[in-house]
Structure 1
Amino acid sequence: MGKLTKTEKSWILYDCGNSAYSMSITTALLPIYFGMFKAGESMDLGYFNSIASILIAVLSPVLGTIADYKDKKKRFFIFFFLLGVIFTGALAIVPKGQWQLLVFFYILTAIGFAGSNIFYDSFLVDTTDNDRMDCVSSSGFAFGYIASIIPFGISLAVVWFMGLDKFLGYQLGFVITAVWWGLFTIPMIKNVHQNHYIETEPHAISRSFTRLGKTFKNISRHRTVFVFLFAYFFYIDGVGTIIKMAVPYSQSVLGGDSFDMFVLLGILLVIQIIAFPCALIYGKLAKKFTAKGMLFFGIFTYIVACIFAYSIDALSDIFILGALIGSAQGGVQALSRSYYAKIIPKQNSNEFFGFYNVFGKFAAIIGPFIMSLVTDMTGVARYSILGIIPLFILGFLVLLAVPKDTEKVSVFVEE
Structure 2
Amino acid sequence: MMTPREKKWIVYDVGNSAFVLLSTAVVPIYANSLLKAAGETNIVSTWGYAQTIASLVIAVLMPLLGSIADVQGMKIRFFTGFFLTGVVMCCAMAMPLGWLAFLIVYVLSTIGLNGSLTFYDSMLVDTTSNERMDRISSHGYAWGYIGSTVPFIVCIALIFGGPALFGWSTTACTRASFVITALWWVAFTIPLLTSYKQVHYRATAGQAGEAIRGTFAELGSTFRAIRKNKPLWMFMIAFFFYIDAVNTVISMSTSYGTQLGIDSTQLVVALLVTQFVAFPCSIIYGKLAGRFGSKTMITAAVVAYMCIVFFAAFFLRAALEFWILAILVGMFQGGIQALSRSYYGKIIPKDHANEYYGFYDIFGKTASIIGTFLVATTTSLTGNASIGVLSIAILLAVALVFLLLQKDPTKGSTEAATVD
- Residue equivalent to 1:271: 274
Q: Aligned letter for 2:332?
A: A
C-alpha separation in 2, matches of 1:76 and 1:168: 33
Tell me which of 17, 21, 25 is aligned to 1:28.
Answer: 25
TM-score, with normalisation over the residues of structure 1?
0.95
Matching of residue 232 in structure 1 with residue 239 in structure 2: yes
Alignment of 1:299 with 2:297, yes or no, is: no
Alpha-carbon deviation of 1:294?
Answer: 0.6
2:125 and 2:350 in contact (8 A); partners too: yes
- Distance 1:176-1:269 versus aligned 2 partners, 3 A rule: same
Matched, 1:180 2:184: yes
- 1:149–1:269 Cα contact (<8 Å) kept: yes
Q: Is contact 1:6-1:191 (8 Å) kept?
A: no
Q: Distance in 2 between matches of 1:338 and 1:368?
A: 25
Structure 2 counterpart of 1:204, which letter?
A: A
Give the CA RMSD over aligned residues: 1.6
Matched to 1:399, the amino acid is L
Partner of 2:418: 413
Between 148-157 and 308-317, the greater mean CA deviation after superposition: 308-317
Q: Return the alpha-carbon distance in structure 2 between the equivalents of residues 165 and 397 of structure 1.
A: 51
Q: Please give the residue correspondences for 1:70-81 in structure 2 after superposition, counting only pairs within 5 Å.
A: 70-81=72-83
Structure 1 residue 316 displacement after superposition: 1.1
Evaluate the alpha carbon distance shift between residue 246 and residue 165 of structure 1 in structure 2; reply closer, same or farther with a 3 A threshold. Answer: farther
Are 2:42 and 1:41 aligned?
Answer: yes
Q: Distance in 2 between the 1:343 and 1:405 partners?
A: 7
- Distance in structure 2 (CA, Å) of the matches to 1:239 and 1:133: 21
Task: Using the TM superposition, give the Cα deviation of residue 99 of structure 1 relative to its aligned residue in structure 2, in angstroms.
Answer: 1.6
1:156-192 deviations in Å (ceiling 9; x for gaps)? 1011014598311210111111011110000111122
- 1:199 and 1:382 map into 2 onto residues whose CA distance is 50
Structure 2 match to 1:5: 3
Q: In structure 1, which of residues 349, 356, 366 is the aligned counterpart of residue 353 of structure 2?
A: 349
The answer to whether the aligner puts 1:284 opposite 2:287 as a matched pair is yes
Gaps of 5+ in 1: none
The one-letter amino acid of 2:277's match is I
Secondary structure at the counterpart of residue 223 of structure 2:
helix
Whether the 8 Å contact between 1:293 and 1:404 is mirrored in structure 2 is no
Contact persistence 1:42–1:248 (CA under 8 A): yes
Correspondence 1:249 to 2:253: no
* 1:213 maps to which of 217, 220, 226: 220
> Which amino acid in the other structure matches residue 22 of structure 1?
V
Structure 2 length as normaliser, TM-score? Answer: 0.94
Distance 1:128 1:251 in 2: 41
Q: Which amino acid aligns with 1:375?
A: T
Summarize deviations over 1:66-109 as a string: whole Å, max 9, x none: 000001000000000000011001100133xx222111111111
Alpha carbons 1:290, 1:404 under 8 Å: kept = no
**Structure 1 CA distance for aligned equivalents of residues 254 and 352 of structure 2:** 38
Distance 1:307 1:72 in 2: 44
**Partner deviation per Cα, 1:134-168 (whole Å, 9 max, x = no partner):** 00000000000000100111111011014598311
**Aligned equivalent of 1:69:** 71
In structure 1, distance between residues paired with 2:247 and 2:106: 17
Displacement after TM superposition at 1:408 (Å): 6.4
Residue 191 of structure 1, aligned match among 181, 190, 195? 195
The equivalences for 1:83-102 within 5 A come to 83-95=85-97, 98-102=98-102
C-alpha deviations, 1:218-268, integer Å up to 9, x for none? 334433222111110000000000000000111112x1xxx4311210110
Q: Does the CA contact (< 8 Å) of 2:410 and 2:417 recur in 1?
A: no
- 2 CA distance for matches of 1:388 and 1:334? 21
After superposition, give the CA deviation of every residue in 1:357-401 in whole Å (9 maximum; x if it has no partner).
Answer: 110000000111111111111112222210111111111111123
> Per the alignment, do residues 10 and 411 of structure 1 end up closer, same or farther by CA in structure 2, a change over 3 Å counting?
closer
**Number of residue pairs the alignment of both structures matches:** 406
Kept in 2, the 8 Å contact 1:291–1:404? The answer is no
Local SS of the residue matching 1:218: helix
Q: Distance in 1 between matches of 2:410 and 2:20?
A: 30
> 1:338: Cα distance to partner?
0.3
Out of 159-168 and 398-407, give the one that drifted further.
159-168
Instruction: Report the CA distance shift for 1:404/1:46 in structure 2 as closer, same or farther (over 3 A).
Output: same
Distance (Å, rounded) in 2 between the aligned partners of 1:307 and 1:319:
15
Instruction: Return the alpha-carbon distance in structure 2 between the equivalents of residues 131 and 20 of structure 1.
Output: 29
Residue 338 (structure 1) aligned to one of 310, 317, 342: 342
Q: Distance in 1 between the 2:63 and 2:348 partners? A: 14
Corresponding residue number in structure 1 for 2:115: 115
How far, CA to CA, are the matches of 1:340 and 1:150 in structure 2?
A: 31
**Which is further off, 355-364 or 186-195?**
186-195
The residue identity in structure 1 corresponding to 2:273 is V
> Which residue does the alignment assign to 1:316?
320
5+ residue gaps in structure 2? none
Give the distance between the partners of 2:109 and 2:213, measured in 1 at CA.
29
Structure 1 equivalent of residue 153 of structure 2:
153
How far did residue 312 of structure 1 move?
Answer: 1.7
